[in-house]
Structure formats: C-alpha cells, structure tokens
Amino acid sequence: MSATPTIKLLINGEFIESKTDQWRDVINPATQEVLAKVPFATSDEIESAVASAREAFKTWRKSSIGVRARIFLKYQHLIRKNIKELAAILTAEQGKTLADAEGDVFRGLEVVEHAASVGNLQLGEMANNVASGVNTYTLLQPLGVCAGITPFNFPAMIPLWMFPMAIATGNTFVLKPSEQDPMVTMRLAELALEAGIPPGVLNVIHGGVDAVNAICDHEDIQTVSFVGSTHVGTHVYNRASQAGKRVQCMMGAKNHAIVMPDANKEQTLNNLVGAAFGAAGQRCMALPVVILVGEARNWLPELTRRAESLKVSAGTDPDTDVGPVVSRAALDRVTTLIQKGVDEGAELVLDGRNPIVPGFEAGNFVGPTIFSGVTTSMTIYEQEIFGPVLCVMEAASMDEAIDIINANPHGNGTAIFTRSGAAAQRFQEDINVGQVGINVPIPVPVPLFSFSGSRGSKLGDLGPYGKQVITFYTQTKTVTSRWFEEDAEADAVNTTITLK
C-alpha cells in the first residue's frame, strides 16, 4: 500500500518537502478518501518564501512588459491544454461537479488572459507643457512582495484572480491557498513555472491561522489580498492594514434576487435554480434569497419542482447537478441552520437533508432545500448558510423588495428579473449593492471590469482584477521635468512653487 502523497511548498522555484510536524488531511468530500497531506509551514519556511520573493523582485521589477506578457500568453495556453486535468483534481478535493470545476478554472483563465495585456493596462499619463518647457507624467511602478490568502470554494479561480495580475505588473508573490483543497492550486503553480515565471517570483506556502498572521505582519509584504469569510476577512484587514499594508478583502454575502411578475418565467426559474443550488451553494455570489413580487408569488410550487428534480451525487458523475459540500463541518453547519429555520417558524417547502446517494453513502451531501415565509429576523436570513438552501420571501411591490435588500448589511451582488426597462433602470439606480444583474442571476463581471462588491461584503477601496487591481498593485509616481539647453541663460531666482 503506497504512502499518502504530501503537498509541497514552492520556494525560490523549487517544490520542497516541509519540515513541519503539523499536517492536515486533504479529503475527498464525496468518499472521505484521504487524497494527500498538506503541511502547516514553519515560521522559517514562511520567512524563506518571503525572502525569495524579496530577492526576486530586484530583477523582476525591471523585466520588460513584453517578457511578462509572453509568460502569461504561454500560461493561458497551458491552462487551456490541461483544463480537464485541473477540473478533475478540483472535483476530487473540493466536490464540485466536473462542469462547475471547469467553470472555476475558466473564470480564472480569463484573468490570466487579461494579465497578458499588461502593456495596455499599466500605462501612465502625460501632460506636455504644463508650464513653459515643463512636462508632467506618471509612472505605475510595482510595489514589491505581495501576498494572497484564498478560500476553499474556488481553489483555481481565486488564486488566478490574484498572482497573475500582481506578477504581470512587476511584483513578486507569496500565495497561501486553502488548506482544505490545495492540490489544484499547486498544479496551477507547476504550470506557472512551466510558462516561464522565474524562481522566487511566485512562492506558495500552506497553513492556518499562524500562516495568515505571518503574512499580515511581515514587514517585507506590501499588499495582502483575501477572499473568504467575514470573520477572517475582518481580522486580516485590521491586522494587515495596521501593519501598513494595502489590503483588499472580499468577504461574506447574502445576495438577493427580485422576481417581478412580468419576468420571463421559464428563463427566470431556470436561472434561480442554477444560481441557488449550483456549486452546492458554496460561492459568495450564490443566490440564497429570492423575493417574489406580486403575482410572481404563485411561482413557488414550480420553482420547488425544478429544484426537486436536480440530481445529488458525486461530482464525477456527469449527470450530477449538486455535489457534496466540502467537509463534515460544512455539512453539520448547513443541516444545523436548516433545523434552525424550522424551529424559528419558516416553512420547509423542500427538505434536502440526508439524501440517498448510492455508492457514496459517506459523502457530505445535502440536497436542494427551500424555505418560504422567511423574515429578516430569522437566523437563516441573517447568516450566510453557504449550502444549497434557498430562502423565499414575498413583497407587494418592487419598492418593498428594494427596501429589504438595502437594509441587509451585505452588498456583494443582487439581481432583478423583469421585462420592464423602466423597472430595471430604477432598480440599478436605487439598489445599494456593488454588483447588479438584470436578468443575470450571478453578476460577476468579466476581467475588463473590476469585481465591485460593497458595504459589509468588502473591506478596502480596490477590488480584484480589472482596472482597480492595477492601481492596487502599483505605486503612482508623478514626475515633473524640465530640460535646458547647455548655453541657455539662467532665469532669475524663483522662490515660489509656481513654474512659469
């Protein structure tokens, strides 16, 4: 019987075995099979990773735009070439269906493609003759060592949101993936080195709270990017910003959709089911709350029938609609909150607890679950369940529905389903949420734009990818220059700050 594989650290271009005595099992959530063991890196190993990035920055920051762009052109090719393998790894360790896993990789790939256009993204500005013979221009220069802390629910996409844009703009990077499912992240790191990223430019460490705190505290790390829970994100933001770093934290959510009675019924119901129960509800842009307005309140039975028809099974089954949640702890949390909803008086229209999944009886499965009669004071509304649970609310008007959404502390995403342009226009103007979908249930923007969650879903001014992340990963240096002919006569002494 072969020994359990171990996840390696990536330091200075080499994959090395950790010397730690703390390890965690990486477990297949559908079978409970131990796939690998992941180390909790020692303080010396974390220091080595940061030191490697610091040393590599000295030369990488001076690399040409063309060199960086060509690396990411090759990297996107390698990801495309290996997307089936990457998806299979992701499904085994995280539980997503193969289709969802490929989508996870693909949405990260889009950012890699965007990073290849860094030459157009990292342009400065220039004003000629701001005064007689004086020009002013800006340079967008890299900061140094940057770091990222990524969650379990998108182990391919979120790392690819972070290190490609940081490295493309001339920085070096230290990545700490989730200890629950680091295998696909490490395969992406292997492909990054194959694409030509030099030693030390990308480093990967593993661990828990101690590794997170080390990243937040280290004096050589200039920026910290985080995606995950509100509790941890708040800790990261406070600790890292107090240490003088730039920080962006994308955190918890409670996304809502308003369904107007004039919406396209077939398309709307299909979209609601996919957004609420896809990826087993384990995404920050999932749709856990639907507000049915007016006559749309009569659509609940059909919505329930469609949810009930979804197949719950292992992600490797191509017919699976809903795979397992990531861990036993996640399963316990979801089922506990479902019972809490029952206890607090919500009507359990569809109970997804304890589904029968032949051949995978040990899996962390919970099926699509729907509550109706949900109020804003209930625990299932107040907390992010992070499972395939949909809370259905009702409103007499769009204004009432908007008031419900705006009163919620989170502002990650929202959507409206309607055929009325006027209603959609008013919704996008009046809603206080950072990302808005109009007949689009999960309005995650493509990389040409920035991820723009708001309010309680985000700490920090700048979001990942898009134009905002260029600002996040660079320092604007403003240069004012004036040149004189060698035989020019000297001006009179000017003691003011005004240039003539």
Which residues are catalytic, by number?
284
CB-CB contact of 165 with 473 (8 Å): yes
Structure tokens at 266: 């077939």
Bridge partners of 217, per DSSP, are none
In SS3 terms, 311-369 reads as: CECCCCCCCCCECCCCCHHHHHHHHHHHHHHHHCCCEEEECCCCCCCCCCCCCCCCCCE
What distance in Å separates the CA atoms of residue 378 and residue 348, rounded to the nearest whole number? 13
8-state DSSP, 62: T
For residue 188, the one-letter residue type is L
What distance in Å separates the CA atoms of residue 87 and residue 113, rounded to the nearest whole number? 19
Per DSSP, helices labelled H in 408-474 are 421-430, 466-472
Q: Exposed, middle or buried: residue 478 (CB in 10 Å: 0-12, 13-18, 19+)?
A: exposed
Positive or negative, the CA dihedral 179, 180, 182, 183 is positive
Ranges of beta strands (E only) in 12-88 are: 14-16, 23-27, 34-39
Of the chain, the end-to-end C-alpha distance in Å amounts to 81
For residue 410, the one-letter residue type is H
Structure tokens at 64: 């040409």
Task: Give the Å distances, CA to CA, from 28 to 177, 207, 327, 360, 396.
Answer: 17, 19, 9, 11, 45
What distance in Å separates the CA atoms of residue 473 and residue 223, rounded to the nearest whole number? 8
What distance in Å separates the CA atoms of residue 247 and residue 267, rounded to the nearest whole number? 39
Task: Give the Å distances, CA to CA, from 86 to 90, 335, 419.
Answer: 6, 30, 39
